[in-house]
Chains A and B, each alone.
Chain A
Amino acid sequence: MTSVARAFGMRRIAYVLGLPVVLFGIWFLASAGSENFYAPPLRQILRSFADTWTLERLDADVLPSLLRLLAGYAIAGVLGVAVGVTIGLNRRVRATVEPVLEFFRAVPPPVLVPVIMLFAGIGDGMKIIVIAFGCVWPILLNTVEGVRAVDSVQLDTAKAYGIGGPARISRVVLPAASPQIAAGLRQALSIAIILMVISEMFASSNGLGFTIVQFQRSFAIPEMWSGIILLGLLGFALSLLFRLAEGRALRWYHGLREAQRKA
C-alpha cells in the first residue's frame, strides 16, 4: 500500500468516526452538570457501562439475544431467498401471490408479537419466529425483484449452452440477483435488531431488551442508558460485519459498476 492510499484510508476512517465523536462530545459536555434523574451525565453512564456489561452479563444476556437474532435472520434468509426465487421465476405464481405479500409486508411485525406468543409461547421459539417473520419480507420481495430483473441475454446464454435445472439457478439466476438479495438482507438486518429487542420486552427472562426494560423498571437509569448505548454499538458492529461480507461476496458487482462508470 502506498502512503497516499494509507492517507486516504485514514481520511475515510476520520470521516466515519468524526461525527459520532463530535456528537458524543456534545452529549458529554451538555450533560456534565445534569441534575435530571432521567438524563444523568454521560460520565456516569459510561462508568456504569463498564460495571454493568461484565463478561458474565454479556454471556447471560447479550449472547442469547444474538443467537436468537442470528437464528431468526438465518431462517428468514433461507426462506426468503428460496420462496423468492420460486416466485420470481414463475409469472403466474407471482401474479397470484404478490398482492398478499405486499399486505404482509405492510403489517408492522411488532404487532404480531402478541399473536405469535399465543401460538408459540414465550420461549426462544417465539422470539425466533418473530424475528424471522419480520425479516423475511424485505428479503423475499427483493429476491423476487432481483430474479425478475435477470438479464434476458444471460438467460438465453445459459439456455443455449445447456445450463438448465439446478445449475441455472445456482450459477446464473442467484448470482445475477445477488446484489438485490443483498439489499434485502441489509434491510432485514436492521429489522432483526429491532425485533430482537421488542420480542424480549414482551416476555422474557434474559436478553438485551429484557435487561434494558428491567433497568428502567427498577429506576437504574444510568444502567438503562448504558444498555441503549450497547445496543447501538451492537447494531453498528453487525452492519459493519455485513458490509464486509457483502463487499467480499459482491466484489464482482462493485468492480463491474466501477468499470461501467468509467466507460
Chain B
Amino acid sequence: MLEVSGLRKIYRSGEREVEALRDLTFTVDNGDLVCLVGPSGCGKTTLLRCIAGLLEPSGGSVRLDGREVSGPAPGLAMVFQEYGRSLFPWMSVRDNVELPLKQKKIPKPRRATLVAEALNAVGLEGTETAYPWQLSGGMQQRVAIARAVAYEPSTLLMDEPFAAVDAQTRADLEDLVRALWQRLKVTVLFITHDIDEAIYLGQRVVMLSSSPTVVQDEITVDLPAARDQLHTRADPRFTELRTHVYEQIQAAKRGARLVVDSQAG
C-alpha cells in the first residue's frame, strides 16, 4: 500500500522559494491501479520523485507498505518517461533488465529466470542480445517495463511512460500495462497528462490542481474490469467520466476548485 499524506515540497534557491507541492494526500491500496492526472506543470514529476525516494519532501510523508520512504525502496520499481535516457545504451537488453537484480544479490539462475519471464511478459523474447537503441521506441519502453517487472516490486511507479510513443504503440502498451497488472497483482501508480488514458487504465483517477499542487478531485472508474480499446472507449460511461475529469482539469488550470455534483464520481 502506498500512502501519501500531507506531502509538501518547496524548492529553495538562494532567496527564492518555489512551492511545488502544497498538501497532497491520497492512498493507493494493495493491488490497485490508480492514475494521476493534472494540468501540465502541476508538479507531477516532483511528486513522483518524492514517492520514489529520489527527492526529499519538505513536509508530510510517503509510506510504502507501512514503511516511511526515505530513499529508493526495494519494493518499488519505476518506469521513466524518457525510455531513451533511462535504459543504459552500453548494455544489451538482457543486461539492462538484469543489472538491478545483480544489485539485489539475487543468485544467477534465479536472475536468468526472472529476466526471461519479464521479457516474455512484455513480448520481447529474442531481443536479449540487442542494444536498446536498436529497437523501436515502443519496444524500448517495453524493455523498461520488463526491467521494472523483473525487479519484482510490490508497487510500480510509471511516469508518463507513453508520452513519447505513437498512438497505436501507445494503445498496445496501455493494454500491456493492464494485463501485467492483472496478472502480477502489483500496485500501480500511473502518472499521465492524457485524460482518456487515465480513465482507460485506472480503477481510480486522482486529479491534481496546478502548482502549488493539492488533490483537486478523485473519482472511481466504474467501468468493467475487462477493458478493450474499442468498446471501453465507446462506452457512454467512459465519456461521462472523461467529461468530469476534463472539467476538473480545466478548473484546476483556472486555479479554481470546481464544486460539481459529485454524481460522476
| Contacts from A to B (Cβ < 8 Å) | 151, 153-154, 156-157, 159-164, 167, 171-172, 175-176, 178, 252-253, 255-256, 259-260
- Stretch binding the partner chain, chosen from B25-33, B74-82, B187-195, B255-263: B74-82
**Can you show 30 pairs from A to B with CB atoms below 8 A apart?**
A151-B85, A153-B80, A153-B86, A154-B85, A154-B86, A156-B54, A157-B86, A157-B87, A159-B72, A160-B52, A160-B53, A160-B72, A160-B78, A161-B100, A161-B103, A162-B72, A163-B100, A163-B103, A167-B102, A171-B88, A172-B88, A175-B90, A175-B91, A176-B88, A176-B90, A252-B89, A252-B91, A256-B131, A259-B134, A260-B133
Top 3 A-B pairs ranked by shortest CB distance? A161-B100, A153-B85, A175-B90
CA distance A171 to B98 in the complex (A): 12
For B133, the chain A residues whose CB sits under 8 A away are: 252, 255-256, 259-260
CA distance A178 to B89 in the complex (A): 12
Instruction: Choose one: B78, B89, B99; the contact of A256 (CB below 8 Å).
Output: B89
> Residue of B at shortest CB range from A174?
B90
B200 interfacial contact with A, CB 8 Å: no
Contact of A162 with B134 in the complex, beta carbons under 8 Å: no
| Contacts from B to A (Cβ < 8 Å) | 49, 52-54, 72, 74, 76-78, 80, 82, 85-91, 99-100, 102-104, 131, 133-134, 147, 151
Instruction: Choose one: A151, A162, A175, A253; the contact of B100 (CB below 8 Å).
Output: A162
For A253, the chain B residues whose CB sits under 8 A away are: 89-90
For A157, the chain B residues whose CB sits under 8 A away are: 78, 80, 86-88
CA distance A172 to B91 in the complex (A): 10
> Residue of A at shortest CB range from B89?
A256
What's the nearest-Cβ distance from chain A to residue B69, in Å? 12
CB-CB under 8 A for A161 and B134, given A151-B85, A154-B86, A172-B88:
no
For A259, the chain B residues whose CB sits under 8 A away are: 133-134
For A153, the chain B residues whose CB sits under 8 A away are: 80, 82, 85-86
For B72, the chain A residues whose CB sits under 8 A away are: 159-162
What's the nearest-Cβ distance from chain B to residue A151, in Å? 5
Instruction: Choose one: A159, A172, A176, A256; the contact of B54 (CB below 8 Å).
Output: A159
Contact of B103 with A175 in the complex, beta carbons under 8 Å: no
CB-CB under 8 A for A163 and B54, given A157-B80, A252-B89, A255-B134:
no
Instruction: Choose one: B88, B100, B151; the contact of A154 (CB below 8 Å).
Output: B88
> Residue of A at shortest CB range from B76?
A160
Known contacts A157-B88, A176-B90; 4 additional CB pairs below 8 A are A153-B80, A157-B86, A162-B103, A259-B133
Contact of B88 with A161 in the complex, beta carbons under 8 Å: no
For B82, the chain A residues whose CB sits under 8 A away are: 153
Most buried by B among A157, A172, A252, A256: A157
For A172, the chain B residues whose CB sits under 8 A away are: 88
CB-CB under 8 A for A161 and B151, given A153-B82, A156-B54, A171-B99:
yes
Instruction: Choose one: A167, A176, A178, A252; the contact of B103 (CB below 8 Å).
Output: A167
What's the nearest-Cβ distance from chain A to residue B41, in Å? 19
CA distance A151 to B203 in the complex (A): 34
What's the nearest-Cβ distance from chain A to residue B88, in Å? 7
CA distance A159 to B77 in the complex (A): 11
CA distance A66 to B74 in the complex (A): 50
What's the nearest-Cβ distance from chain A to residue B53, in Å? 8
CA distance A259 to B133 in the complex (A): 7
> Residue of A at shortest CB range from B101?
A161
Most buried by A among B53, B76, B82, B151: B82
CB-CB under 8 A for A162 and B90, given A157-B80, A259-B134:
no
Contact of B78 with A163 in the complex, beta carbons under 8 Å: no
Contact of B88 with A175 in the complex, beta carbons under 8 Å: yes
Contact of A161 with B77 in the complex, beta carbons under 8 Å: yes
> Residue of B at shortest CB range from A252?
B90
What's the nearest-Cβ distance from chain A to residue B40, in Å? 19
> Residue of A at shortest CB range from B78?
A160
CA distance A59 to B190 in the complex (A): 68
